[in-house]
Amino acid sequence: MQFGYTIIYVADVAATLDFYVNAFGFAQRFLHESGQYGELETGSTTLSFAAHETAGGNLPDGYQAMSAEGKPFGIEIGFLTDDVPAAVTRAVQTGAVLVTAPKTKPWGQVVAYVRAPEGTLIEICTPVGG
């Protein structure tokens, strides 16, 4: 078994891709001509986004759509960087909401949290042991 990708269901795939490209510097790998599915270049796995309509076709009994309102879901995506404060500043300037400012954990890792405009909780951190 190998972890291949994560798909986040969103209202506007193109706008979400633009946010992640501008906030974190990822390259856009693919946006389907329908605008219903897109991917980012993120390393060995793929971060993907699909429209809520696509989820409806895949999950006929429905699902809990994410929102920027209220508390975040109990899941996060993590992005590694050597400069957490600069990455957080760029993300917030691009539209993310600061959840927690950068803090150094007892094991030396610097960690901060932001929420993307579509509601995804994002951990921005240095590598463990870095």
Average pLDDT per block of 10 residues along the chain, 130 residues long: 92 97 96 96 91 87 87 93 98 97 96 97 90
Phi and psi, residue 127, nearest 5° = -60, 145
Range of the domain at 129: 67-130
> Each residue of 51-68: b (16+ CB within 10 Å) or e?
beebbeeeeeeeeeebee
**Can you give the pLDDT at residue 130?**
56
Question: Does residue 75 sit in the same domain as residue 115?
Answer: yes
**Can you give the pLDDT at residue 45?**
87
Question: Does residue 101 sit in the same domain as residue 54?
Answer: no
Question: Does residue 109 sit in the same domain as residue 96?
Answer: yes
Question: Does residue 8 sit in the same domain as residue 61?
Answer: yes
Question: Does residue 71 sit in the same domain as residue 55?
Answer: no
**Can you give the pLDDT at residue 59?**
87
Contact 97, 22 (CB under 8 A): no
Question: Does residue 61 sit in the same domain as residue 76?
Answer: no
52, 54, 69, 120, 127 from 65: Cα distances, Å: 8, 12, 11, 11, 30
Question: Does residue 33 sit in the same domain as residue 23?
Answer: yes
Question: Does residue 71 sit in the same domain as residue 126?
Answer: yes
Structural domain tally of the chain?
2
- What CATH number corresponds to the domain at position 114? 3.10.180.10
Question: Does residue 33 sit in the same domain as residue 1?
Answer: yes
pLDDT (tens digit, 9 = 90+) per residue, 37-69?
999 999 888 999 999 988 888 888 988 888 888
Of the three residues 32, 65, 98, the one that is the final residue of a domain is 65
Question: Does residue 60 sit in the same domain as residue 77?
Answer: no
Contact 57, 67 (CB under 8 A): no
Concatenate the DSSP letters of all residues of 99-128 into one string: EEEEEE-TTS-EEEEEE-TT--EEEEEPPT
Contact 39, 47 (CB under 8 A): yes
Of the three residues 65, 94, 121, the one that is the final residue of a domain is 65
Of the three residues 40, 65, 90, the one that is the final residue of a domain is 65
